[in-house]
Structure 1
Amino acid sequence: MAIIELYTSPLCGYCHAAKRLLDAKGATFVEVDLSRSPERRSEMQTRANGRHTVPQIFIDDVHIGGCDELYALDRSGKLAPMLVP
């Protein structure tokens, strides 16, 4: 299975939508809640080329972007192949 990482915050509707899609795909992911680990925000911004909004999603260390980009990958049929090794 792919290594999926999400940087999130608890009140973010887009974060919840991204997690719902990944759950529906049966994907396992690691969630970094920035409200509980604010010191990791700079790590997220570095990895996401300066983007500061959540969610920021990485699959196998490749920056996917946010929720809109994740859903676009799914609609185009490109997400499912990324989730399997």
Structure 2
Amino acid sequence: MKMANVTMYCTAVCPYCTMAEKLLTAKGVKEINKIRVDLDPAQMGEMIAKTGRRTVPQIYIGSTHVGGFDDLSELDQGGGLAPLLAE
């Protein structure tokens, strides 16, 4: 089964980023395109412009903005994460 592309805006020391990565990995995601906003402030501006949010992680599955870890977890518990990942 082909997985959707996953992109995550994150920082090095964010516990929610780590939890999101663990959840996605547990769901079979092998590769996450991480955009480190702590290393590139311009990426932080891009993230805020795209999502309207200032906190990390901000997760995209394909072209769908899922949100942060709480949103991802809620999507998973509601049964919506697997179909989104399945592309």
Please classify the TM superposition score into its range, dividing by the shorter chain length: over 0.9
* Pair 1:41 & 2:30 matched: no
What TM-score does the superposition give when structure 1 sets the normalisation length? Answer: 0.92
Counterparts of 1:4-83 in structure 2, within 5 Å, are: 4-27=6-29, 28-48=31-51, 50-83=52-85
Query: 1:3: how far off?
Result: 1.3
Query: 1:53: how far off?
Result: 0.4
Tell whether the 8 Å contact from 1:47 to 1:63 is kept in structure 2 after alignment: no
Query: 1:36: how far off?
Result: 1.6
Paired positions, count: 84
RMSD: 0.9
**Identity rate, percent:** 42
Once the two structures are superposed, residues 1-59 of structure 1 have per-residue CA deviations (whole angstroms, 9 ceiling, x without a partner) of 211110001111101000000111111220111112221111111110x2000000111
Where in structure 1 do 4 or more consecutive aligned residues deviate above 2 Å? none
The runs of 5 or more residues in structure 1 that have no matched partner are none
Tell whether the 8 Å contact from 1:14 to 1:67 is kept in structure 2 after alignment: yes
Provide the rounded CA distance (Å) in 2 between the counterparts of 1:75 and 1:64.
14
